[in-house]
Structure 1
Amino acid sequence: MSNEKTYTGSCFCGAVQFTVTGKPEGMGYCHCDSCRSWSAGPVNAFTLWKPESVHITRGADNIGTYNKTENSFRKWCKTCGGHIFTEHPGMGVTDVYAASIPDFPYEAGIHVNYQETKLRMKDGLPKMKDFPKEMGGSGLTVAE
């Protein structure tokens, strides 16, 4: 039996429920136009998990999928429209929106796609122009 911590999350109405287990691969803020448009906010708080750490526990048949590109398969609840997570198969991670797992101790470590920001955040965290090299980006940082 694993002693890894499991956290429960859901869509806005609760029709879709899921768990995430263990520790995420990373946490931070994304400032790209796609995430901002999808989240209807100036920035998106992400938690990146290995796909095998994310389990749908209720409402799997109620999940809709949209992909503008092959990089991101965005998932939402067909009942309330609440956003749940985004699968990034090319990066081998699933982005579970931090706000959808309320008891998870979210702690951002990085900003990605900061060159596209609409909301400057002076928090001392690294501000990546796009993505770290390990995720296929340039690895370049920009000024806070």
Structure 2
Amino acid sequence: MSSNQHTGQCFCGAVEVTVSGAPFAMGYCHCKDCRAWSAGPVNAFTLWKQDEVKVTKGAEQLANFALTDASQRKYCKQCGGHVMSVHPGGDFTDVYAAILPTLEFEPGIHVNYESAVLRIKDGLPKMKDFPAEMGGSGETLPE
């Protein structure tokens, strides 16, 4: 595997995903949907163009949950392990940072920080919602 490819898997290993290249964004989401889905106070994301993400094992074990049209959350039918969220309208996929052990996670931003339940003082920009180029207000909040 080349250094610009990373492979991750669900909790039991039945589903495997390989990403190629580099994510175009990495950071933390604080929205209530991501918090509920991840069962944590914050969700670490890596965003990839859809053609850079391939299910390389266990595609038949991937199930889909869509609360809204904006996200198709993918998880393993066997173990329930969360793998990724496909965002059809944005033509990108969020492969959860926690399942990519060889990717050096270098967060650059916090999104939906207005909804944060865990305040993080790390010097990164804290967006009220999303950057303007992603359809958000572009407004930043203090740490």
Q: TM-score, normalised by structure 1?
A: 0.97
Aligned: 1:6 with 2:2: no
1:13-52 correspondence to structure 2 within 5 Å:
13-52=12-51
**Corresponding position of 1:95:** 94
Q: Amino acid of the residue matched to residue 121 of structure 1? A: I
Distance 2:134 2:76 in 1: 28
Q: Amino acid of the residue matched to residue 24 of structure 1? A: P
**Corresponding position of 2:75:** 76
After the TM superposition, which parts of structure 1 deviate over 3 Å for at least 4 consecutive aligned residues? none
How many residues are aligned here?
142
Structure 1 residue 103: deviation in Å?
Answer: 0.9
Aligned: 1:117 with 2:116: yes
Distance 1:62 1:94 in 2: 18
The gaps in structure 2 that reach 5 residues or longer are none
SS of equivalent to 2:89: coil
Q: Among the aligned pairs, what percent are the same residue?
A: 60
Distance 2:14 2:3 in 1: 26
SS of equivalent to 1:69: coil
Q: Amino acid of the residue matched to residue 103 of structure 1? A: T
Distance 1:103 1:77 in 2: 21
Structure 1 residue 89: deviation in Å?
Answer: 1.1
Q: Amino acid of the residue matched to residue 110 of structure 2? A: H
Q: CA deviation digits over 1:22-80, x for unaligned, max 9?
A: 01010000000000000000000000000000001100000000000000100000000
- CA 1:95–1:64 in structure 2 vs 1: closer, same or farther (change >3 Å)? same
Q: Amino acid of the residue matched to residue 124 of structure 1? A: G
The gaps in structure 1 that reach 5 residues or longer are none
RMSD: 0.9
Distance 2:127 2:91 in 1: 20
Q: TM-score, normalised by structure 2?
A: 0.97
Distance 2:133 2:3 in 1: 25
